Amino acid sequence: MTKLLFLTLLATCLSCALARPFNSSLHMRKARSLGRRANTTPVATAWYPGWYGSKFPPAQISWEKYTQMTFAFALTTPDTSVISLDADSQKILPDFVTEAKNHNVSSLLSIGGWTGSQYFSSAVASASNRTIFVKSVVNLATKYKLDGIDFDWEYPNKQGVGCNLIADDDSANFLSFLQELRKDPVGSKLILSAAVSISPFAGVDGTPMKDVSEFSKVLDHIAIMNYDIWGAFSPTVGPNSPLDDTCSPTPAGSAVSAIKAWTSAGFPANQIALGVASYAHTFHVAPSAAINSNGTLALYPAFDKALQPAGDGETTGMTGVDQCGVATGPSGLFDFSALVSNGFLDKNGTAASGLIYSFDECSQTPFLYNKSTQVMVSYDDATSFAAKGKFIKNSGLAGFAMWHVAGDSNDILVNSINKAIDAAGSTSTTPTNGSPSLTVAPTPSSTATTKQCRRRS
Ligand SMILES: *[C@@H]1O[C@H](CO)[C@@H](O)[C@H](O)[C@H]1NC(C)=O
Ligand SMILES: *[C@@H]1O[C@H](CO)[C@@H](O)[C@H](O)[C@H]1NC(C)=O
Ligand SMILES: *[C@@H]1O[C@H](CO)[C@@H](O)[C@H](O)[C@H]1NC(C)=O
Ligand SMILES: *[C@@H]1O[C@H](CO)[C@@H](O)[C@H](O)[C@H]1NC(C)=O
Ligand SMILES: *[C@@H]1O[C@H](CO)[C@@H](O)[C@H](O)[C@H]1NC(C)=O
Ligand SMILES: *[C@@H]1O[C@H](CO)[C@@H](O)[C@H](O)[C@H]1NC(C)=O
């Protein structure tokens, strides 16, 4: 693929600060999470995109729904001693940390991201660089009074945006770096997490490592980025964030197969947070391909790349050039909140009348289609978040990590997943119909890889 195309995206989260009374096991989870480095700590977290700062200041976050919050992103640079934060982020990050502390939520800073991973490889490539990089990370954590650091390296020994440095030894060097960070007096006390692909870290031969258990001794948790599994870069329309793909005609990765892959490689389930998406991919699909004869939406229809719909804050046919010098067009991405403000969804998050809505029982995700614009939307809603919450609980995972917190609308998504996690816990651990769990997981698809195109302006 000519990798995506992610240009500036505007937020439209309107009213995301409804409080709810302190109750529920979330608060029990939060209380426990404050005891650091307990590897069984339940995780209710999201990333906060620093570039949303003026539209969605940290005070608007519904802090009481989360145990941790991660500010995105600080970027790697060609100089290992420098981890950069743009001017806006430097301004907003202190407010973010203060707000988090006032709400007893742990604050983390994420280093990397889709566009910020260019120089991870060289930063950890030699013993002397690792020592310098440890110092840089510790200085950043100390300066901003952070509780933790998230490493969002996309990806060790696997190309991401297109012009990242990569090396055979990336994963081994990353581990050595994390081990050294843990030996530092400040680093030993930090919460350390990593945002990871649906496949375990790539080893020297570029294929997923068979044993990643050493990483679980130095990281508190990983967040599996189970989104952008299908998108504008795919051969057909498909689910952005499939819960399951074992029932799919064209498996490309899912929560079920990703958890299976990571746990089979020795990463404990109770240190894995499932990455969940508060955003949608859109596609231009002809009505003949989009709609079955019985009126439901077709799954995996062909779409027209040349007519890529403009996403939230984009214009049709817009062009640009990414950091690697590659031409880009509209991404077609919409925040969940922008699906509401653009009339795809009602205020309560259900499909607007006049659109065709179908729920794919395999991926456990919804699709929408506007016949007049021929726009198909692959997204997540309260129903798919409830299914994911149940899966998280029934699979014994640490919790969830949402990309991103400002994409929710009136807390519809976070409320749904929290409620499902709590409910699944209070009733039964037996998976019920329609709720895939590890017990039904297959061997992971060998094609499960790489399309995590996390957006960043
Ligand atoms: C708190 O949550 C529990 C479990 O979800 C529920 O049974 C109880 O009624 C709630 N209490 C209040 C005051 O809302
Ligand atoms: C170490 O980092 C410097 C930049 O600070 C870089 O120029 C050098 O290539 C790195 N070393 C290795 C072995 O990658
Ligand atoms: C934070 O924790 C402290 C100590 O447990 C408690 O007194 C305070 O009420 C908590 N604040 C919030 C907003 O939960
Ligand atoms: C509608 O048609 C599709 C495609 O033939 C089929 O997969 C689906 O089960 C049908 N749904 C209903 C509700 O009949
Ligand atoms: C579908 O597209 C048409 C044409 O742009 C638009 O007028 C209509 O509002 C859209 N419907 C919904 C529910 O978004
Ligand atoms: C959402 O709102 C629509 C009207 O805008 C209504 O028809 C529908 O029943 C509501 N759904 C829920 C779950 O409240």
Q: What is the pLDDT of residues 11-38, one digit of tens each?
A: 222 222 222 333 356 656 665 554 444 4
pTM of the entire structure? 0.87
Residue 79 lies in a domain: yes
Residue 453 lies in a domain: no
Q: Which residues line ligand 5 (CB under 6 A)?
A: 343-344, 352, 354-355, 370, 372-373
Residue-level length of the chain: 457
More confident residue, 197 or 21: 197
List pLDDT tens digits, range 306-340: 999 999 999 999 999 999 999 999 999 999 999 99
Choose which residue among 77, 79, 80 to substitute to test ligand 2 binding: the one with the highest number of ligand atoms within 8 A of its C-beta: 80
Residue 449 lies in a domain: no
User: Is 288 found in the same domain as 273?
Assistant: no
Average pLDDT, the chain: 88
Rounded to the nearest angstrom, the distance between the alpha carbon of 342 and the centre of ligand 5 is 9
**Does the pLDDT at position 279 exceed 80?**
yes
**Nearest protein CA to atom 14 of ligand 2, as residue:** 122
User: Which pLDDT does position 452 carry in this prediction?
Assistant: 34
Rounded to the nearest angstrom, the distance between the alpha carbon of 24 and the centre of ligand 1 is 6
Report strand pairing: 334-335 vs 279-284: antiparallel
The C-alpha atoms of residue 305 and residue 313 are separated, in whole angstroms, by: 19
User: Which pLDDT does position 32 carry in this prediction?
Assistant: 52
Confidence class of residue 41 from pLDDT cuts 50, 70 and 90?
low
User: Is 164 found in the same domain as 121?
Assistant: yes
Last residue of a domain, one of 378, 400, 417: 378
Rounded to the nearest angstrom, the distance between the alpha carbon of 169 and the centre of ligand 2 is 14
**Nearest protein CA to atom 5 of ligand 5, as residue:** 373
| Buried-exposed string 114-147: b where 16+ CB fall within 10 A, e elsewhere | bbbbbbbbbbbbeeebbebbbbbbbebbeebebb
More confident residue, 421 or 455: 421
Residue 13 lies in a domain: no
Structurally, the chain folds into a number of domains equal to 2
**Does the pLDDT at position 1 exceed 60?**
no
More confident residue, 30 or 423: 423
List pLDDT tens digits, range 43-54: 999 999 999 999
**Nearest protein CA to atom 4 of ligand 6, as residue:** 346
Residue 45 lies in a domain: yes
Rounded to the nearest angstrom, the distance between the alpha carbon of 370 and the centre of ligand 5 is 6
User: Is 261 found in the same domain as 155?
Assistant: yes
Residue 128 lies in a domain: yes
List pLDDT tens digits, range 205-227: 999 999 999 999 999 999 999 99
Rounded to the nearest angstrom, the distance between the alpha carbon of 98 and the centre of ligand 6 is 37
User: Which pLDDT does position 6 carry in this prediction?
Assistant: 35
Domain that holds residue 364: 282-378
Choose which residue among 293, 296, 360 to substitute to test ligand 4 binding: the one with the highest number of ligand atoms within 8 A of its C-beta: 296
Rounded to the nearest angstrom, the distance between the alpha carbon of 296 and the centre of ligand 4 is 6
Residue 333 lies in a domain: yes
User: Is 109 found in the same domain as 152?
Assistant: yes
User: Is 309 found in the same domain as 229?
Assistant: no
**Does the pLDDT at position 431 exceed 70?**
no
Nearest partner of 16 among 412, 417, 385, 418, judged by Cα: 412
More confident residue, 428 or 411: 411
CA 370 to ligand 5: nearest atom: 1
Rounded to the nearest angstrom, the distance between the alpha carbon of 457 and the centre of ligand 5 is 28
More confident residue, 195 or 452: 195
Rounded to the nearest angstrom, the distance between the alpha carbon of 104 and the centre of ligand 3 is 6
| Buried-exposed string 380-393: b where 16+ CB fall within 10 A, e elsewhere | bbbebbbbbbbbbb
Rounded to the nearest angstrom, the distance between the alpha carbon of 21 and the centre of ligand 3 is 14
User: Is 271 found in the same domain as 177?
Assistant: yes
Percent of all residues in the chain with a pLDDT value above 90, rounded to a whole number: 83
Q: What is the DSSP string of 364-409?
A: TEEEEEETTTTEEEE---HHHHHHHHHHHHHTT--EEEEE-GGG-S
User: Which pLDDT does position 15 carry in this prediction?
Assistant: 24
* Nearest ligand atom owner, CA of 382: 6
Choose which residue among 248, 292, 369 to substitute to test ligand 4 binding: the one with the highest number of ligand atoms within 8 A of its C-beta: 292
Residue 9 lies in a domain: no
* Nearest ligand atom owner, CA of 167: 2
List pLDDT tens digits, range 383-394: 999 999 999 999
Residues 6+ apart with CB under 8 A from 216: 39, 266, 267, 268, 271
Choose which residue among 119, 121, 129, 130 to substitute to test ligand 2 binding: the one with the highest number of ligand atoms within 8 A of its C-beta: 129
Domain holding 204: CATH number? 3.20.20.80
List pLDDT tens digits, range 66-116: 999 999 999 999 999 999 999 999 999 999 999 999 999 999 999 999 999
Question: Roughly how many angstroms between the first and final C-alpha of the chain, as a whole number?
Answer: 20
User: Which pLDDT does position 337 carry in this prediction?
Assistant: 98
CA 352 to ligand 5: nearest atom: 13
User: Is 152 found in the same domain as 241?
Assistant: yes
User: Which pLDDT does position 9 carry in this prediction?
Assistant: 31
User: Is 158 found in the same domain as 233?
Assistant: yes
Choose which residue among 23, 65, 104 to substitute to test ligand 3 binding: the one with the highest number of ligand atoms within 8 A of its C-beta: 104
Last residue of a domain, one of 325, 358, 378: 378
CA 294 to ligand 4: nearest atom: 1
List pLDDT tens digits, range 227-255: 999 999 999 999 999 999 999 999 999 99
User: Which pLDDT does position 161 carry in this prediction?
Assistant: 96
**Nearest protein CA to atom 12 of ligand 3, as residue:** 103
User: Is 204 found in the same domain as 226?
Assistant: yes
Confidence class of residue 42 from pLDDT cuts 50, 70 and 90?
confident
User: Is 81 found in the same domain as 225?
Assistant: yes
List pLDDT tens digits, range 130-167: 999 999 999 999 999 999 999 999 999 999 999 999 99
Q: What average pLDDT does this structure show over 267-290?
A: 98
Q: Which residues line ligand 4 (CB under 6 A)?
A: 292, 294, 296
Last residue of a domain, one of 331, 361, 378: 378
**Nearest protein CA to atom 2 of ligand 3, as residue:** 104
User: Is 399 found in the same domain as 369?
Assistant: no
User: Is 85 found in the same domain as 220?
Assistant: yes
List pLDDT tens digits, range 350-385: 999 999 999 999 999 999 999 999 999 999 999 999
